């Protein structure tokens, strides 16, 4: 078995763990286009969405400390050109964390999304916390298919206090799966992100780009509005609110405005499972709901480059997460 070279912190990225048969780096003198699908997988709360946003260069996937925040297959696009019509277009697919508990209709839908994302990609980024490997990580690792190259992305390297312990941990990880390369990194470090992009490029086939040079995601603005409200909901309720709460966009209407150029009227409904959860979201004298709306509106105005009027209601739908029909009606596959 060929063992990938371990990339120590601060090591020369050109020596990044090449194995026999690893695709060669693109010839800088050749003006060709490369493009391919890259799946980002891992257990809940290992930093997949943060990594996606860093790789794309802009926030397109919501993040919070609450596990299981991402629920959809979200495609992020990053195009790096060579100035002569060539370059690399990375099409990243962020996935929900694979669910190993609670066999609800919602969790079954999330796992189906993960399995679908892994199928047919050119490269897999298996994301774990540097120095850690749990039973949940092992479950996700077992989903990886032979024949598809996978990079071990040891994320949150900045939180590891004893760097000397990383080398033996990486060797142990190689015994679990024949990873093409090891990439210890922090998604918050721009140099680490740039190095990961360089490594990914070598695994993408030469073919025309699928998206325009300035496109960032295949998701609609309506979807981004829903996700933004849901992010603020989870961030401002913390662990108080069950992760089964969701957001449905009831209205998304664009109007022309002389004062603002572009004006969006958005009506959103936060769906919870219990009356107690509804009171929790609304907060004392409606202050928490008001703050959720204000923060979501401010972020959407920046993201969508428009003046936004946002209305939010809270409704109770008991047991919706275990009702397959309702799960589908709320936009889950």
pLDDT at 294: 95
| Cβ contact 313:258 at 8 Å | no
Q: Which of 202, 150, 160 is nearest to 185 (CA)?
A: 160
List pLDDT tens digits, range 148-161: 999 999 998 888 77
Rounded CA-CA distance 77/89 in Å is 7
* pTM reported for the whole predicted model: 0.63
pLDDT at 75: 77
Strands 307-316 and 261-272, sheet pairing: parallel
Sequence spans of domains, the chain: 13-201, 221-329
Q: What angle do CA 168, 174, 177 make, to 5 degrees?
A: 150
pLDDT at 112: 54
Rounded CA-CA distance 148/122 in Å is 7
Name the CATH superfamily, with its identifier, for domain 13-201: P-loop containing nucleotide triphosphate hydrolases (3.40.50.300)
The dihedral through the CA atoms of 154, 173, 67, 56 has a sign that is: positive
**Which residues in the chain come in under a pLDDT of 70?**
1-30, 62-74, 95-119, 239-244, 319-333
pLDDT at 167: 85
Strands 87-94 and 123-129, sheet pairing: unpaired
Residue 106's φ and ψ, nearest 5 degrees, are -65, -50
| Alpha helices, DSSP H, located in the chain | 48-56, 105-118, 135-141, 166-176, 190-201, 221-237, 275-282, 287-304, 324-329
Q: Please list, in sequence order, all residues whose beta carbon lies within 8 angstroms of the beta carbon of residue 237, skipping any fewer than 6 positions away.
A: 280, 281, 288
Where do we find the tokens 């662990």? 239
The gap between the terminal CA atoms of the chain, to the nearest Å, is 39
Q: Which of 262, 163, 190, 210 is nearest to 33 (CA)?
A: 210
Local structure of 75: helix, strand or coil: strand
pLDDT at 4: 43
Rounded CA-CA distance 49/248 in Å is 21
Q: Which of 321, 7, 4, 331 is nearest to 166 (CA)?
A: 7
Order of strands, edge to edge, in the sheet holding 74-81?
A: 74-81, 87-94, 33-41, 123-129, 150-155, 181-184
Residue 115's φ and ψ, nearest 5 degrees, are -60, -40
Rounded CA-CA distance 230/127 in Å is 23
Between the alpha carbon of residue 182 and those of residues 25, 115, 123, 317, the distances in Å are 17, 23, 13, 45
Where do we find the tokens 């090591």? 11
Q: Tokens for 28, please give them.
A: 């800088």
Where do we find the tokens 């709360």? 45
Q: What is the CATH number of domain 221-329?
A: 3.30.300.20
Q: What angle do CA 152, 157, 158 make, to 5 degrees?
A: 160
């Amino acid at each position: 078995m060929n063992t990938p070279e371990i990339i120590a912190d601060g090591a020369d990225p050109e020596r990044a763990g090449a194995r026999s048969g690893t695709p060669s780096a693109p010839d800088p003198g050749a003006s060709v286009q490369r493009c391919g699908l890259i799946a980002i997988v891992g257990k809940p709360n290992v930093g997949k969405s943060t990594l996606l946003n860093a790789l794309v260069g802009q926030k397109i996937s919501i993040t919070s400390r609450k596990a299981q925040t991402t629920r959809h297959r979200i495609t992020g696009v990053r195009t790096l050109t060579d100035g002569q019509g060539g370059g690399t277009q990375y099409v990243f697919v962020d996935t929900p964390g694979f669910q190993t508990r609670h066999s609800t209709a919602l969790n079954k839908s999330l796992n189906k999304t993960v399995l679908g994302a892994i199928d047919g990609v050119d490269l897999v980024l298996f994301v774990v916390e540097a120095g850690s490997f749990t039973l949940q990580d092992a479950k996700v690792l077992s989903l990886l298919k032979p024949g598809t190259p996978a990079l071990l992305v040891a994320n949150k390297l900045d939180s590891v206090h004893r760097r000397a312990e990383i080398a033996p941990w990486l060797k142990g990880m190689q015994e679990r799966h024949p990873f093409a390369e090891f990439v210890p990194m922090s998604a918050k470090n721009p140099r680490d992100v740039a190095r990961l992009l360089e490594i990914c490029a070598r695994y993408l086939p030469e073919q025309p780009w699928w998206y325009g040079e300035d496109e960032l995601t295949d998701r609609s603005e309506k979807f981004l509005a829903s996700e933004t409200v849901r992010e603020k909901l989870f961030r401002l309720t913390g662990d108080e609110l069950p992760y089964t709460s969701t957001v449905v966009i009831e209205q998304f209407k664009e109007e022309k405005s002389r004062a603002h150029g572009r004006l969006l009227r958005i009506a959103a409904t936060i769906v919870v499972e219990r009356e107690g959860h509804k009171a929790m979201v609304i907060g004392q004298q409606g202050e928490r709901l008001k703050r959720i709306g204000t923060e979501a509106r401010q972020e959407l105005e920046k993201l969508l480059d428009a003046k936004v009027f946002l209305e939010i209601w809270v409704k109770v739908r008991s047991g919706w997460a275990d009702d397959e029909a309702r799960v589908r009606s709320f936009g889950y596959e």
